[in-house]
Amino acid sequence: DAGVTQSPTHLIKTRGQHVTLRCSPISGHKSVSWYQQVLGQGPQFIFQYYEKEERGRGNFPDRFSARQFPNYSSELNVNALLLGDSALYLCASSLEAGYAETQYFGPGTRLLVL
Amino acid sequence: QKEVEQNSGPLSVPEGAIASLNCTYSDRGSQSFFWYRQYSGKSPELIMSIYSNGDKEDGRFTAQLNKASQYVSLLIRDSQPSDSATYLCAGSSGSARQLTFGSGTQLTVLP
């Protein structure tokens, strides 16, 4: 079975631009979470979606938005990019959205903002 | 702020030794804990999950959880050079059951 897939794998943007990152969860998984990982740190939670509804949002500005589609795939959008948005963006999927649910990570999208 | 703290490392152990990785958490509402391994330039991959106090063993890996002390650990027995990676501890809490990660411990297993 295919794991979590993300596209694109790498992206270079300039300050002020916007970016859309895409994620397809493991087949049968209904929950998708997005994390940002800057170099040398652990991943930081951005959003979680379950059954197309936003279940939670981390401490990120309104420039960050996301949505989940009927097929459970998801998009993360970032507007007005800043240099500090340069990071590895990780998508994780889980069957449901409970405490015991294991989240499986995709390969990530590496974003560089110049 | 809910935090997960890991022993900062880096940690070096000789091949065949036991590597001990430690983690403490501040949110008593955290119910589940996960250890992920991350190779340089790659995404995190799950090693183990643990939900109840005590030990959980899976092959060369043993996770330990002590909710009273708010402490989680991972032991790697018979360490191999292929175990060299950054190990991330995460707790699940909050309305979205989101993962809160520590900053990771870099482990190097010397041949």
The ranges of chain A with pLDDT < 50 are: none
Cis peptide before B81 (omega within 30 of 0): no
**pLDDT of res. A72:** 96
Q: What is the pLDDT of residue B72?
A: 97
Half-sphere exposure of A81 (CA within 13 A, CB side): 20
Q: Is A97 on the interface with B (CB under 8 A)?
A: yes
- The CA-atom distances, in angstroms, between A2 and each of A25, A104, B46 are 9, 12, 16
Reading the block at residue A112, the tokens are 């560089």
Cα-based angle A11, A12, A18 (whole degrees, multiple of 5): 85
From chain B, pick out residues whose CB is under 8 angstroms from the CB of A35. 99
Q: What's the pLDDT score for residue B1?
A: 61
CB atoms within 10 A of CB B52: 10
The rounded distance, in Å, linking the Cα atoms of A104 and A15 is: 31
Q: Which of A29, A32, A48 to mutate to test the interface with B (most CBs of B within 10 A)?
A: A48
The tens digit of pLDDT for each residue in A30-45 reads: 999 999 999 999 999 9
pLDDT of residue A1: 63
pLDDT per position in chain B (111 positions), as tens?
Answer: 668 999 877 999 999 999 999 999 998 888 899 999 999 999 999 999 999 999 999 999 999 999 999 999 999 999 999 999 999 999 998 777 889 999 999 999 999
Strands (E), B2-111: 4-6, 11-14, 19-25, 32-38, 45-50, 54-58, 61-66, 71-76, 85-93, 98-101, 105-110
The reported pLDDT for the residue numbered B96 is 76
Chain A residues close to B87, C-beta within 8 Å: none
> B96 — contact with chain A (CB < 8 Å)?
yes
Instruction: Give the per-residue pLDDT at A96.
Output: 79
Look up residue B76 and give its two tokens.
């790697």
Residue A95's DSSP bridge partners are: none
A25 touches chain B (CB under 8 A): no
C-alpha span between A10 and B82 (Å, rounded): 26
